[in-house]
Structure 1
Amino acid sequence: MTASERFRIDRDGPVARVTLCQGAEGNTLAPPDMQAIGAAIRAEGSDKTVKLVVVTGEGDDFCLGRRIVPGVTPPANARAFRERVADAILGVYENLRMTPVPVLVAVQGRAKGFGCAFAAQADVTIAEDGARFSMPEMDGNLPPTLAISAALPKMPAKAVLDMVLTRDEIDAQTAHAFGMVSRVAPKGGLTAAVDTYIAKLADRDRDALVAIKEYMRLAPTMDLAGQARYGANLIAVEMTSQDKT
């Protein structure tokens, strides 16, 4: 299969929908798939008519992690791993951060490894009651430092470390308590919860949404005074925009 066959893109008014569409395979993604979906999310969110990007997965599970392609030789050394695998994974996280508008991820079933980190990195994550999250890489004594890099900006360090060291699955309620999940939808109510969230954003000004996303991305890197000044500048620009009526 080509990377484009792993997901599809649809438009619903101001919403770009990206759907992982290989549910029978757990919506796993190989590095080329990751590069393609990361670029697609960022491109959709950069369209001036789009206010929100929503990522969902077909089937029982949101995403079971990295796909191992039969017949493809594993990287032979550290440099090859960095170029063929790590850079693709880190590129997804970067594209999620740099997409101008919010990215919402809806999780059902399991989000495992890369799928868990993807859900953590999103701006908004809605999990269905019964969803489960895990970082099992240490089962094979592989330190999941890439996944940790995605989770740390969103979650307390001790919560991330607990998931990494124990490899235990956590439920949606625990993921919410840890800060990985924004909201927990009732069983069978994930689609309705996502639609409700979309309705809250669809009639908002795109520039305001972009400003919020930018502030949330950059403010944590500043000291308190810098956060305040940058926030004042952003809101001043938004309030005085020539497009406002």
Structure 2
Amino acid sequence: MESNSGAPVTVERDGAVAVVTLNRPEKRNALTVELKEALLAALEEVAADDSVRAVVLAGSGKSFCVGQDLSEHVESLRGNASTSFDTVERHYNPIVRSIATMPKPVVGAINGGAVGAGLGFALACDLRVAADTATFATAFAAIGLTADSGLSASLVHSLGAARATELLLLGESFDAAQAQASGLVRAVVPADRVVDTARELAARLAAGPTLAYAEIKKAVALGAVSSLDTVLEGEAAGQARLGVTRDHREAVEAFLEKRR
């Protein structure tokens, strides 16, 4: 297990599980360039590490992530507004792609507020566990912006176009119980249990068929945006790839022999 408590992002390894934590608790994990670059590097590191079979994404302190650090953003606007949004292509988009396409499961430990890009990062995770005190909001319209971090897609896929439009236009917040009722989070637990619960879920996934999980992530992403024919072709190709793996062969043999 390793960490650097003074870093903007920490990485801890516990067996086959890596816990990536945003670490600006005094600023509610608001996103500066430094934090975004550190988060992207950490995600790429654990994605490439074959000893890591599942990942937890968490926030330190009482918030998960409240989105862009607006103090840094306003300085950028005052300097050169035409380049202020380069961060979307340089940071936000690669971070969301890394979480969503990582060939291993990612569990979001939503310990507190998940706002703006923080909500986008949370919804890019494959599964989510939330604190009973957690709140969620889009917040973009309130500052005269449209969404980033994939929220235009992830909210629609999770909640439907009508509810996604409502949340983006009105910016109204919702709580952990509402998030669970709508299927956005798997479980709601006391705040001091969020990371441990997410670790337990990640450990369960780490003990499972990682190659199959990677193909499932691809199939679900394809299914969300593609025609039936494309989905069927993708499923067939995924099963063909998995069919020649030791994981599949051993699992079938174990099933027939009535053993794990």
TM-score (norm 1): 0.86
Which of the residues 148, 166, 185 maps onto 2:189? Answer: 185
- Quick one: which of 124, 130, 135 aligns to 2:133? 130
Unaligned runs of 5+ residues in structure 2 are 1-5, 251-260
Inter-CA distance 103–128: structure 2 relative to 1 (3 Å threshold): same
Do the aligned partners of residues 70 and 149 (structure 1) sit closer, same or farther apart at CA in structure 2, a change above 3 Å counting? closer
Structural mapping, 1:30-49, within 5 Å: 30-49=32-51
CA distance in 1, matches of 2:165, 2:123: 14
1:221 is paired with a residue of what secondary structure? coil
Amino acid paired to 1:14: A
CA distance in 2, matches of 1:70, 1:122: 26
Contact 1:31–1:66 (CA under 8 A) maintained in structure 2: no
1:242 Cα deviation from its structure 2 partner: 4.4
Aligned partner of 1:159 in structure 2 is 163
> CA contact under 8 A between 1:8 and 1:21: conserved in structure 2?
yes
Structure 1 runs not aligned, ≥5 long: none
1:85 CA drift (Å): 4.3
Corresponding position: 1:234 with 2:238: yes
Q: CA RMSD in A?
A: 2.5
Count of aligned pairs: 241
Q: Does 1:103 align with 2:134?
A: no
Post-superposition offset of 1:87? 3.8
Distance in 2 (CA, whole Å) between partners of 1:41 and 1:195 is: 16
Q: 1:92 aligns with which of 86, 91, 95?
A: 95
Check 1:71–1:129 CA distance in 2 against 1; reply closer, same or farther (3 A cut): closer
Q: Which moved more, 1:155-164 or 1:125-134?
A: 155-164
CA distance in 2, matches of 1:186, 1:25: 22
Q: Is the 8 A contact 1:15 1:51 kept in 2?
A: yes
2:233 and 2:223 map into 1 onto residues whose CA distance is 10
* Matched letter for residue 88 of structure 1: H
Contact kept, 8 Å, 1:38 with 1:96, in 2: the verdict is no
Percent sequence identity over aligned pairs:
25
Corresponding residue for residue 113 of structure 1: 116
Give TM-score, length-normalised by structure 2.
0.81
Paired residues of 1:16 and 1:45 also in contact (CA < 8 A):
no
Deviation at 1:131, TM superposition (A): 0.8
Q: Is contact 2:9-2:38 (8 Å) kept?
A: no
